[in-house]
C-alpha cells in the first residue's frame, strides 16, 4: 500500500527516538510566534541559553495586541523587536498583518514543518506544510534545536467530491466537518484533504479550512501541494518555493470522511460553540447588530473581493454595524489599488487595521445581548468582550448579505452569485518585515516594567494534597481558564498580574480562594483546555498553586502545556468517577514517583473516603519533564 501525504512529510522530519513511547519526534523547519504568546516564549528562550535560533526560519509577528491604550503593549513590542534582532528572527511589525495569513503569503513552503505559538498555525497546511500549534515553551525549545513531539497521530482522509455551488464557501466546508466530527472529533488526528473537490479550492480557501481544523481539536490539517499551490506561490513571486506533494493513489488512512461539496449549502455556527452548526436558512430573519469580516480565517484578498462585489452600490442596514479587517498589509494594498476599499467605505462599512482585533475581544465588542455574525473561528461565551453577546460564525458572503439586510439571511437570496478570480500577481512589499543583523550579540534588549521574571519551577513532589478548587464540566476552553480581551492580554508578560484573571469567567473568586487554600487541584470533564495554545492557561494556575488536574480528557496542546509547566494532568479511568468528587473535597495523591513509573495513579478523596483510579497516559519524555518540574527545568538539566 502507498503512503499518505502526512507520513511522507513526517518521515522526512523524524528525529532520534521518533516513535518512542507512542510519540513522534520531529525536526522543525519554521517557527512563528505572535505578540501575546511571544513575550513569554522569548523569556523562556532566553532562559534556555541558546545563542541564536537554529530553525531555518523564525518569525516574530505582532498582530494581536495592537490596541495601545496603556504602555504595556508598546513596551512588549519593543522587547519583541530587540529579541528578533539579537537572536536571528524576522520581525513582522505591527500593521504588517496576521501571522497565519502573512506566513501563508510570504514565508510558507510546501513540505516544511512549522511550529507556532498559536493554535491556528495549521493554516499553513493550505500550502502542503505540516503546520502545528503549540505552547510558547515548545516553540522556544524548537528554536533551540530540540525536536518537537506529538502523540502518534491517526490520519483521516477527508475526500472532497464535486465542487461548491454558487454562494457556498470554504467556510461552509469546514463548518460541515465540525458539524459531523464536533469540537472533540479531531483530537489525536491529522486531517488530510484530497480528491477532485480539493483540487477546485484555491490556497486562500484551503487556508480557511485548515485554520478551523483547530476547532476540531486536530493536531493539524493539510492539503496537497498542487497546481493551485504553484499558481499562488508564483503570484506571490515565490515560484521557486513550489514543490509538488501528494499522497500515493493507494495510500492508507486510519479513517475516512467523504464530503460532497455539491450538496453543501450556507451554514452557520450558533452560540457558543463552533460545532453547533445548522443551515443559515433555519435561523434567517433574526435581527443582526454587528457583522465582522476578518480574522485569520476569512480576511484574504479573495474574501474581501467577494465582499466588495456584494456591497458595491448598496448600503449597510441602519441598525447594523459592519466592520472589515484586511488580514495583511498586502491585502490592504491590493484593495486600495483595486478600488475595493472605496466600495467598503461607500457602503457604510468600518475599516479596521490588519490585526486579529475583534476575534479575540480587542475592539468592536457587541452591544449587550447583541447578535454578532463573524467570519472568525471561535464563538466562545464572552470571547468577544461582551459576556451575553450571541456570536455566530459564518462565511464572508453570509456576513456581507446579512449586513445589508440587517437580519441573518441566506446569501442565495441576493440573486446571482458573485464571481471573483485571484490576481495573477500580488503586490509584494516586505518593508515591514525587519531582517536581523548577522551578529546580534551587541543588541541591547529593552524591557518595560510590565515584563516580569519567569516563575520558579520546582521538581514534582512525591505527594500532592489539596482541595478540589474547581469542579467543571465538558469543553472548558482556554478562554474559560484565562480570558481574552485587550486589558487581560496586555499582561501576557506579567504572570502575577494576569493570574488575577484566572478562571474569571467560571468563578471570579478563584485566584483569592486558591491563594487562601495554598493551592490545590482542579477537576473537569471531557476536552479540558480546548481552544487557544496560550500557555498562560497553564502557567497562571501553576502560579496560584494548582499542582494537578483530573479530567475525563484533554485537548492536545493544553495537556502538553500543563506538562511543560509541571502540572500533573491525570485522566479518570472511569468517566463516571467525576461524580465522586465535589468542589471543596480534599484529595490526596501519594507515592507519585513510583506511580508514574507504572500506568495508574491512585487518588484518595479524604472527604468521602472514596479511592479512585486514574491514568496518567504520559510518555517517558513527558514523565521526565514532570519529575524535573517542567520543560524549562528539563532543558536546563539536559545542558548540564
From residue 281, alpha-carbon distances to 268, 284, 408 in Å are 9, 5, 8
The widest CA-to-CA distance across the chain, in whole angstroms, is: 72
- Confidence at residue 131, expressed as pLDDT on a 0 to 100 scale: 98
CATH, domain range 5-263: 3.30.499.10
CATH, domain range 267-412: 3.30.499.10
Planar angle of CA 357, 31, 69, nearest 5 degrees = 25
From residue 195, alpha-carbon distances to 201, 246, 261 in Å are 11, 11, 11
State the Cα–Cα distance between residues 198 and 176, nearest whole angstrom. 15
Domain range summary for the chain, segments of one domain joined by +: 5-263, 267-412, 464-639
- Confidence at residue 18, expressed as pLDDT on a 0 to 100 scale: 54
CATH, domain range 464-639: 3.20.19.10
Say if pTM beats, i.e. exceeds, 0.75.
Answer: yes
- Confidence at residue 218, expressed as pLDDT on a 0 to 100 scale: 97
- Confidence at residue 529, expressed as pLDDT on a 0 to 100 scale: 96
Cα Rg of the chain, angstroms = 24
State the Cα–Cα distance between residues 460 and 348, nearest whole angstrom. 58
Q: What is the pLDDT of residues 184-238, one digit of tens each?
A: 999 999 999 999 999 999 999 999 999 999 999 999 999 999 999 999 999 999 9
- Extract the residue ranges of the chain whose pLDDT is less than 70: 17-21, 640
The answer for residues whose C-beta is within 8 angstroms of residue 240's C-beta and 6 or more apart is none
Q: Do domains 267-412 and 464-639 have the same CATH topology?
A: no
Exposed / middle / buried, residue 163 (Cβ in 10 Å: 0-12, 13-18, 19+) = middle
- Confidence at residue 632, expressed as pLDDT on a 0 to 100 scale: 92
Amino acid at each position: 500500500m502507498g503512503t499518505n501525504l502526512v507520513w511522507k512529510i513526517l518521515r522526512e522530519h523524524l528525529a532520534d527516538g521518533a516513535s518512542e513511547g507512542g510519540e513522534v519526534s520531529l525536526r522543525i523547519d519554521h517557527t512563528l510566534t505572535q505578540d501575546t504568546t511571544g513575550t513569554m516564549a522569548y523569556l523562556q528562550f532566553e532562559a534556555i541559553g541558546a545563542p541564536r535560533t537554529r530553525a531555518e526560519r523564525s518569525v516574530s509577528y505582532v498582530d494581536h495586541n495592537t490596541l495601545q491604550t496603556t504602555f504595556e503593549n508598546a513596551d512588549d513590542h519593543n522587547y519583541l523587536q530587540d529579541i528578533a534582532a539579537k537572536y536571528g528572527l524576522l520581525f513582522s511589525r505591527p500593521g504588517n498583518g496576521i501571522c497565519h495569513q502573512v506566513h501563508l503569503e510570504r514565508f510558507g513552503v510546501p513540505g516544511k514543518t512549522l511550529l507556532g505559538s498559536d493554535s491556528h498555525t495549521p493554516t499553513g497546511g493550505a500550502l502542503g506544510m505540516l503546520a502545528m500549534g503549540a505552547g510558547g515553551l515548545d516553540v522556544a525549545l524548537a528554536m533551540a534545536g530540540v525536536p518537537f513531539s506529538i502523540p502518534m497521530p491517526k490520519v483521516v482522509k477527508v475526500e472532497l467530491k464535486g465542487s461548491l455551488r454558487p454562494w457556498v464557501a470554504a467556510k461552509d466546508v469546514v463548518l460541515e466537518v465540525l458539524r459531523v466530527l464536533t469540537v472533540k472529533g479531531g483530537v489525536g488526528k491529522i486531517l488530510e484533504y484530497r480528491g477532485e473537490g480539493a483540487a477546485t479550492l484555491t490556497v486562500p480557501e484551503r487556508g480557511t479550512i485548515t485554520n478551523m481544523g483547530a476547532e476540531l481539536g486536530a493536531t493539524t490539517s493539510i492539503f496537497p501541494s498542487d497546481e493551485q499551490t504553484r499558481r499562488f506561490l508564483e503570484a506571490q513571486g515565490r515560484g521557486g518555493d513550489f514543490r509538488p506533494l501528494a499522497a500515493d493513489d493507494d495510500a492508507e488512512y486510519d479513517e475516512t470522511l467523504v464530503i460532497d461539496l455539491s450538496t453543501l449549502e450556507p451554514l452557520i455556527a450558533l452560540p457558543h460553540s463552533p460545532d453547533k452548526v445548522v443551515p443559515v436558512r433555519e435561523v434567517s430573519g433574526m435581527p443582526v447588530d454587528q457583522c465582522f469580516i476578518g480574522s485569520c480565517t476569512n480576511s484574504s484578498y479573495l474574501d474581501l473581493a467577494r465582499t466588495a462585489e456584494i456591497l458595491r452600490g448598496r448600503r449597510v442596514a441602519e441598525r447594523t454595524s459592519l466592520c472589515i479587517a484586511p488580514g495583511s498589509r498586502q491585502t490592504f494594498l491590493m484593495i486600495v489599488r483595486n478600488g475595493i476599499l472605496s466600495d467598503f467605505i461607500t457602503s457604510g462599512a468600518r475599516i479596521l487595521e490588519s490585526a486579529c482585533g475583534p476575534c479575540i475581544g480587542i475592539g468592536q465588542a457587541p452591544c449587550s445581548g447583541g447578535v454578532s455574525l463573524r467570519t472568525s473561528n471561535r464563538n466562545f461565551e464572552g470571547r468577544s468582550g461582551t459576556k451575553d453577546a450571541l456570536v455566530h460564525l459564518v462565511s464572508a458572503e453570509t456576513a456581507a448579505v446579512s449586513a445589508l439586510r440587517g437580519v441573518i439571511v441566506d446569501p442565495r437570496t441576493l440573486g446571482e452569485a458573485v464571481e471573483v478570480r485571484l490576481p495573477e500577481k500580488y503586490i509584494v512589499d516586505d518593508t515591514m518585515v525587519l531582517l536581523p543583523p548577522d551578529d546580534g550579540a551587541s543588541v541591547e534588549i529593552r524591557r518595560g516594567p510590565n515584563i516580569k521574571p519567569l516563575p520558579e519551577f520546582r521538581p514534582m513532589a512525591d505527594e500532592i494534597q489539596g482541595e478540589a478548587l474547581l469542579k467543571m464540566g465538558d469543553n472548558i476552553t482556554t478562554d474559560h481558564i484565562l480570558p481574552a480581551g485587550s486589558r487581560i492580554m496586555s499582561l501576557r508578560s506579567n504572570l502575577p498580574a494576569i493570574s488575577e484573571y484566572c478562571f474569571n469567567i467560571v468563578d471570579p473568586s478563584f485566584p483569592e480562594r486558591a491563594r487562601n487554600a495554598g493551592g490545590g487541584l482542579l477537576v473537569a470533564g471531557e476536552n479540558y483546555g480546548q481552544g487557544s495554545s496560550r500557555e498562560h492557561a497553564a502557567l497562571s494556575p501553576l502560579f496560584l498553586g494548582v499542582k494537578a488536574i483530573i479530567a475525563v480528557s484533554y485537548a492536545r496542546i493544553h495537556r502538553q502545556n500543563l506538562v511543560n509547566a509541571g502540572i500533573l494532568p491525570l485522566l479518570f479511568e472511569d468517566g463516571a468517577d467525576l461524580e465522586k468528587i465535589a468542589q471543596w473535597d480534599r484529595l490526596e495523591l501519594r507515592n507519585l514517583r513510583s506511580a508514574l513509573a507504572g500506568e495508574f495513579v491512585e487518588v484518595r478523596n479524604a472527604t468521602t473516603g472514596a479511592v479512585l483510579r486514574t491514568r496518567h497516559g504520559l510518555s517517558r519524555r513527558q514523565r521526565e519533564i514532570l519529575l524535573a518540574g517542567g520543560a524549562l527545568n528539563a532543558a536546563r538539566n539536559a545542558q548540564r
